[in-house]
Structure 1
Amino acid sequence: METGIKDLARPVEASAIMELLPARPRVLALGEPTHGEDALLELRNALFRQLVEEEGYRTIALESDCLRALTVDAYVASGEGSLDDVMKRGFSHDWGGSRANRELVCWMREFNAERPTDDHVRFAGMDGPLEITGAESPRQALTALHDYLTAHVDAELLPCTADRLDDLLGTDALWTNQAAMTDPSQSIGRTPEARELRLLADDMVTLLETQAPHLAVVSSPGDRDRAHLYGRTAVGLLRYHSWMADTSSARMARLLATRDEMMAGNLLALASRGPVLVYAHNSHMQRDKSAMRMWGHPKVEWWSAGALVSTRLGDQYAHVAAALGAMRHQGVDTPPSDTVEGILHSLAEPQYVIAAAQLDAVARDIRAVPRVSPYFGYAPLDPSHLPRIDGVVYVRDVPHD
């Protein structure tokens, strides 16, 4: 089998990635099969540095809270704040403690330090203010959007006062109650107050659009971009909380789809300003439907952010999926030879990149089957997805950090 792929493998370099694609995509996604492994994140860092320096990408987006990421972006742009505080406050999912994420932020700051503002590489979060255990209060997004509008449009055009917003929002702990994730009756997402907040959020986003010519004169592009980010996030969070209160069988599918729609909205907004590099789980970046089981529910399917963005951008979207062979500290041993990873593992190279179409041809010849993972946190590549992936980066062994 090695003979079938050894001539197809290339070093994991920016040039090898770009050779897989017809042109430089506006959104280039590198997907990971598992979270939290610094060996994969260090490979991401090296590849992203090359893509920034050689291919002109100037935005790096990670699967992290889009609002928290504003703190990181301010730091890499101007050095605002201390690195320790930025790593603590600027990431969700506890990923600020990652050595590789810290190294990425440091490199971005160094890259920008001696460059003009219009040549800076920017940092962004593609995810909403969400965790697998729940969602944040919409307070930050709603109040920030209201503050922006208050500063720039006539008061009579605003749909409510700041005090009214505060009254409707109530106590943040009610919004962040983690019990609501598994018990819809614990959610406040469909109370009269929450329903009114959804209408007000919609009215404020509409005001952003209808006042666009005026706002373009009186505020900076950066301020307008942030206002739209606050608007997208407020609407998405309120929608997410509403589905947390749902008791139908479609509840989990709606929640997962809503999260990825928020991710897609953020990526499309970033892409409207220039080419974007994004790193997230393959399940969020693939063009095929995503699926998972959780908390005893039957398998849930939904369209990922990658599928949504790809539908909008066509060949201006590319997905390069990372795959791994062994991760023994998590019980993942040498892959079976009749899986995609088994094909890739037959080559002794520690890591390489290969065109997914070429890998698909080999997989079809041997009738490859999906790999079964003993570790719930690792998702192997599905052979049926290869025709809709642009490339595969293979890491033979992931060591314990």
Structure 2
Amino acid sequence: MATDIETTVHAVEAAAVMRLLPARPRLLALGEPTHREEDLLDLRNDLFRRLVEQEGYRTVAIESDCLRGLVVDDYVTEGTGALDDVMANGFSHPDLGLSRSAANRELVRWMREFNEGRPAPDRVRFAGFDAPLEITHAESPRRSLTALHRCLASQLDAGLLPCTEAALDRLLGADDGWTEPAAMRDPARSVGRSPEARELRLLADDLVALLDERAPQLIAATSRDRWDRARLYGRTATGLLRYHFWMADTSSSRMTRLVGLRDRMMAANLLALAERGPALAHAHNSHLQRDRSSMRMGGATVEWWSAGALVSARLGTEYAFVATALGTIRHQGVDTPPPDTVEGLLYALPGDRHVVDARLLATTLADAPPAARVSPYYGYASLDPAQLAGYDAMVFLKDVVRR
């Protein structure tokens, strides 16, 4: 059996990944089974560099706030700001330590160095593709909605706009109402269904429609890149207002709608990035897999279609998903995997990391289906062997060490 499994593994190289795919994808998604581990981010960095140098990829997108990501993109493309400030302000999810990560800092530094002296079309780009959401709250729509209004107001006659910026400001009110932490668990504390919020949803829809209607004029007056950025503001504003609306819902489907809306916003951002050219996306496996995702929340199981599933439905073979599996995270109590699991079978092979032909491995193991590994650590999601045949490829990392 070990010899058969060895035929499914290759060196961790961009070319090895590409050979396993049915077509060159516009969006190559690399998942991770846990967060906050530098070894996994180093692996991402190495793969991205190889994709840039060998396959012509020019964008990396990570599981971080899409608006904050603009700060990083401005730095790597134009040199705007200082690296310390960019790291402090360009990443979200402080619970994941994204801004403090040495691997993230190295990625940003390398991208800036790569772009130095290159023409704009050949520069690498950075993006966050997550919504501006945290565990404790959802962001106020003020930042995105105001930015969209200003983009339009700077180029169009005031009479075309459905409202003034002052009217938006009045309807938005204090940001504290939108970011109230208690609203995550208590719908009654949410402002998402107030008369002001309902009016803002209509105005945001009109502003996005105007952006689309005037696309030729706006692109000619500014640039395609500026119009794409305005589209991002529009997607984020309407997405946040919809998210707040469902935060105020009292039905049993509330959490299902919220987790689904988050991945819907992720998917919209990924599809927009794919329009620009081939990109590498990096996030948790559960956000990028083609199968339905699920998690335990409040004593119940919540299921939703992930961003990867939504993007795959749209792009077909131009979307590829590479899952990451691992052997040990001993500092989190994840020890040597049982030998009858996928992770255990791969752990027994020589070498520290592999690219795995997931479909061939599934075929190889069909007569003796492996057991599912039970995770002793809540922050690590072990591989579901039933999903193996649905992966385009897999990366296996033998040991993750504390740094």
**Normalised by the shorter chain, which TM-score bucket?**
over 0.9
Size of the aligned set, in residue pairs, is: 400
The alpha carbon displacement at 1:216 in A equals 2.3
Task: Confirm or deny: 8 A CA contact 2:219 2:226 kept in the other structure.
Answer: no
The letter of the residue matching 1:273 is R
Indicate which of 124, 131, 134 corresponds to 2:134: 131
**Residue 290 of structure 2 is aligned with which of 287, 290, 293?**
287
Task: Name the residue aligned to 2:3.
Answer: 3
Aligned twin of 2:353: 351
Shift of 1:224: 0.3
Q: Deviations along 1:56-75, whole A, 9 cap, x unmatched?
A: 00111001000000000000
Aligned to 2:185: 182
Letter in 1 for 2:67: L
Q: 1:203 aligns with which of 203, 206, 209?
A: 206
Secondary structure in structure 2 of the residue aligned to 1:63: strand
- For residues 28-82 of structure 1, the C-alpha deviation after alignment (integer angstroms, 9 at most, x for no partner) is 0000000110011001111110001100001110010000000000000111101
- The correspondence for 2:246, drawn from 243, 248, 259, is 243
Query: Which residue of 140, 149, 152 corresponds with 1:146?
Result: 149
Asked whether the equivalents of residues 363 and 383 of structure 1 are also in contact (C-alpha less than 8 Å), the reply is no
Normalized against structure 1, the TM-score is what?
A: 0.98
State the partner residue of 2:46: 46
SS in 2 for 1:396: strand
Following the alignment from structure 1 to structure 2, what is the Cα–Cα distance between the partners of residues 256 and 152? Answer: 36
Q: 1:78 to 1:191 in 2, by over 3 A?
A: same
Alpha-carbon deviation of 1:4? 2.0
AA matched with 1:277? L
**How far apart in 2 are the matches of 1:5 and 1:260?**
34
Map 1:4-19 → 2, pairs under 5 A: 4-19=4-19
Q: Distance in 2 between matches of 1:297 and 1:108?
A: 43
Give 3-state SS (helix, strand or coil) of 1:357's partner.
helix
Instruction: State the AA in 1 paired with 2:372.
Output: P
Q: C-alpha separation between the residues in 1 aligned to 2:223 and 2:7?
A: 51
Tell me if 1:89 matches 2:123.
Answer: no
Do structure 1's residue 393 and structure 2's residue 398 form an aligned pair?
no
Q: Is 1:381–2:383 an aligned residue pair?
A: yes
Deviation at 1:6, TM superposition (A): 1.4
Distance of 2:59 and 2:41 partners within structure 1: 17
Aligned to 1:234, the other structure's residue is in SS state helix
Tell me, yes or no, if structure 1 residue 219 matches structure 2 residue 239: no
What is the deviation of 1:381? 1.1
| 1:337 and 2:339 are equivalent in the alignment | yes
Which stretch shows the higher mean deviation, 318-327 or 211-220?
211-220
Structure 1 residue 73 corresponds to structure 2 residue 61: no
Q: Could you tell me how far 1:12 is from its partner in structure 2?
A: 0.5
Q: TM-score under structure 2 normalisation?
A: 0.98
Deviation of 1:179 (Å)? 1.2
Contact 1:128 1:263 in 2 (8 A): yes
Q: Distance in 2 between matches of 1:319 and 1:165?
A: 40
Cα offset for 1:16? Answer: 0.6
Deviation, structure 1 residue 348: 2.7
1:274 corresponds to: 277
Give, as a single letter, the amino acid of the residue that structure 2 aligns with 1:147.
Answer: R
Match of 2:264 in 1: 261
- Compute the displacement of 1:304 (Å): 0.3
Q: 1: CA distance between counterparts of 2:350 and 2:189?
A: 52
Whether the 8 Å contact between 1:354 and 1:393 is mirrored in structure 2 is yes
Deviation readout 1:277-296 (Å, 9 max, x if unpaired):
110100000000000012x2
Q: CA deviation at 1:217?
A: 2.0
Is residue 367 of structure 2 the alignment partner of residue 365 of structure 1?
A: yes
Q: Could you report, residue by residue, the CA deviation over 1:214-267 in whole angstroms, capped at 9, with x for unpaired residues?
A: 212222111101100000000000111111111111111100110000001001
Q: Check the 8 A contact 1:350/1:395 in 2, yes or no.
A: yes
- Structure 1 vs Structure 2 CA RMSD: 1.0
Amino acid at match of 2:154: A
- Percent identity for Structure 1 against Structure 2: 63
Deviation larger for 250-259 or 177-186: 177-186
Aligned mates of 2:36, 2:141 — CA distance in 1: 27
Q: Distance in 1 between matches of 2:135 and 2:304?
A: 16
| Distance in structure 1 (CA, Å) of the matches to 2:271 and 2:265 | 10
- The answer for the alignment partner of 1:163 in structure 2 is 166
| Shift, 1:366, TM fit | 2.0
> C-alpha distance in 1, partners of 2:251/2:365?
39
What is the distance in 2 between the residues matched to 1:87 and 1:197? 32
Give, as a single letter, the amino acid of the residue that structure 1 aligns with 2:68.
R
Tell me the residue number matched to 1:32.
32
Q: For residue 57 of structure 1, what is the aligned residue in structure 2? A: 57
**Whole-Å separation in 2 of the counterparts to 1:68 and 1:283:** 22
Deviates most, 377-386 or 340-349: 340-349
Instruction: Please tell me the residue identity of whatever aligns with 1:37.
Output: E
Secondary structure of 1:278's counterpart equals strand
Determine if contact 1:338/1:366 at 8 Å carries over to the other structure: no
Task: State the Cα deviation string for residues 99-158 of structure 1 (Å, max 9, x = none).
Answer: 000000000001000211110000001101011222111000000000011111121111
| Structure 2 counterpart of 1:110 | 113
Shift of 1:347: 0.9
CA offset digits 1:174-213 (Å, max 9, x no partner): 1111111111111111111111111111010011111122
User: Secondary structure of the residue that 2:99 maps to in structure 1?
Assistant: helix
Relative to structure 1, the CA distance from residue 239 to residue 297 in structure 2 (aligned partners, 3 Å threshold; closer, same or farther) is farther
Q: What are structure 1's unaligned runs of at least 5 residues? A: none
Task: State how far apart, in whole Å, the 2-side matches of 1:333 and 1:247 are.
Answer: 42
Tell whether 2:125 aligns with 1:122. yes
